[in-house]
Amino acid sequence: MDVLLLRDKIAEAGCRYAASLNVDATDDWLVLKTVEEAGELVQSFLRYSARARSRGQNAQQLKRALDDEIADLLGFSLLLAKRFDVDLLPALERKWHLSEGSLL
């Protein structure tokens, strides 16, 4: 799937999510929610890497929780990209030192 199509599908889901919580998805809320998801990823990583209590989860559950938190962080990053009209592919090429046009 094209990353821009993925971004747009995630944006639609994000709108439904905010509406289901009766939240006004302001710029501040979106940035703070992204930071929250980063914290949840750290928590899942610590459990997955046996540096925090597993809370009764087995290895498969810990891996799934890690996967889910990475997906959450990616999803909210894509929401930020859409909200702030980030030209995502050129920005990724620039920041990850890829050759220009390599992601297009």
- Is 83 inside any structural domain? yes
Prediction pTM value: 0.92
- Is 100 inside any structural domain? no
Q: Total structural domains in the chain?
A: 1
Contact predicate 29/14, CB 8 Å: no
Distance CA 7, CA 41 (A): 20
- Is 101 inside any structural domain? no
| Maximum pairwise Cα distance, the chain | 47
- Is 21 inside any structural domain? yes
Question: Which domain CATH number covers 11?
Answer: 1.10.287
* Segment 45-97, tens digit of pLDDT: 999 999 999 999 999 999 999 999 999 999 999 999 999 999 999 999 999 99
- Is 104 inside any structural domain? no
- Is 76 inside any structural domain? yes
- Is 102 inside any structural domain? no
Domain with 49, as residue range(s), is 3-95
